[in-house]
Amino acid sequence: MALASRTDWVLDPAVHYLNHGSFGAVPRAVNGAQLLIREQMERNPNLFFRSELPALLRAARARCAAELGTDEQRVAFVPNASQGVIAAAASVIRHGSTIATMTSNYGGVVLGLRALARRFDAEVRELDAAPPTAATPESCVAELVEHVGNADVLVLDQIVAASAQLNPVEAMVREVRRWRPDCFIVIDAAHVIGQLRQPIPEGIDAWVSNFHKWVAAPRPSAALVAVSERARHELAPLAGSWNTELGFPLSFDSQGTADLSAYLATPAAFDFLARWSWDAREQHCRNTVTQAAAMLAGTWGVQLPTHPELRAPNMRIVPLPGNQRLTTAEESALIAAARKHLLAEIAVTSPGGVTGVRLSAYLYNDVADYECLRDLPKLLSTPNGI
């Protein structure tokens, strides 16, 4: 059974909501906390922005830093992981720099790195990554070390969005440091906060993760963490504004008159999660997604592709039967068909070229929620499917 009641969320009770990993879902209590902050802002906007907001941001940042096991002065709020990663990379890229990333990394970030490279006349080196069926902890390290070369900046996914693969980042970084000690290493940890108990790996420079996924904070809310001293001195927002001269993290606090209520309400999300112990949350999500993935794999006659040591706690990829290779348009059509015919919200991805459904499990899910997906492959061959 579910750990939390669906009534704690405003999710449509008629829908099987199986894709918490993409956009999250905000609990009623956290929505309420954000609404109160917005009401405070609108009662006297001049007072709020000039006098109240700085202290509120510092308090929220301190709480979130404590939850991450780091210091408030090392944490800045950013709208999402992708923007934080690009901001971190842009802070250190210079004319002629070499930027390395993996072909499996999040597509939006890779596009952003390409844009940075054009702007700075830099090079983006996209390193091949083994598909989920072939990746092992050892191969993840070996393929990176073999090809990272003379990279000045390295961007790695901690949990790969498309495949739900948990990369052995500390081992990867440790080996890179042996060959390229001065490389500025940025970790895209979009899915990590709320999934890993000790989320920030050692040996890196900057780390970015979303609060609005597994912490269930309002959107948009994410953390950019300056792990190294170099990062504390280098990190800067993409658009400079007031507080720029104060340096990190205050330089990220004042971006015009942005509505920062999502940041300020993020501690309320941690308060909501505190109703259950970390162990209870982790066990529920891991057990739910593991059982659901095994059920679908058995029904469809497929093997789960991901090495057991590389499986993210709350997510799994289950290949569709028949070695399906859908286009992006066909993936979107299958998602729409599942919505229409199965009343299910899902994610469909094609890591390594083979299409599967990416399962997510959160506190409001139980294994029975996923039973409706047994018939998902039938939608591929029916006229009213895709």
**Residue 285 belongs to domain with CATH number:** 3.90.1150.10
What distance in Å separates the CA atoms of residue 353 and residue 355, rounded to the nearest whole number?
Answer: 6
Domain assignment of residue 1, yes or no: no
pLDDT, residue 212, reads: 95
Domain assignment of residue 385, yes or no: no
- Domain shared by 130 and 260, yes or no: yes
What distance in Å separates the CA atoms of residue 137 and residue 49, rounded to the nearest whole number?
Answer: 48
Residues of the chain with pLDDT > 70: what percent? 98
DSSP string, 277-303: -HHHHHHHHHHHHHHHHHHHHHHHT--
Q: What confidence tens digit (pLDDT) does each residue in 116-147 have? A: 999 999 999 999 999 999 999 999 999 999 88
Domain assignment of residue 59, yes or no: yes
pTM of the model as a whole: 0.94
pLDDT, residue 385, reads: 55
Tell me, what CATH number does 248's domain have? 3.40.640.10
- Domain shared by 10 and 85, yes or no: no
pLDDT surpassing 70 at residue 268: yes
- Domain shared by 228 and 340, yes or no: no
Domain-terminating residue out of 272, 287, 306:
272
| pLDDT, averaged across the chain | 94
pLDDT, residue 242, reads: 76
pLDDT, residue 245, reads: 78
Q: What is the residue range of 171's domain?
A: 30-272
pLDDT, residue 386, reads: 55
Output DSSP code: residue 381: T
Residues of the chain with pLDDT > 90: what percent? 87
Domain-terminating residue out of 231, 254, 272:
272
For residue 24, the tally of other CB atoms under 10 A from its CB is 23
pLDDT, residue 382, reads: 65
- Domain shared by 120 and 82, yes or no: yes
Domain-terminating residue out of 239, 272, 305:
272
- Domain shared by 201 and 245, yes or no: yes
Q: What confidence tens digit (pLDDT) does each residue in 31-62 have? A: 999 999 999 999 999 999 999 999 999 999 99
| Cβ-contact 311, 340 below 8 angstroms | no
| CA 369 to centroid of chain Cα atoms | 23
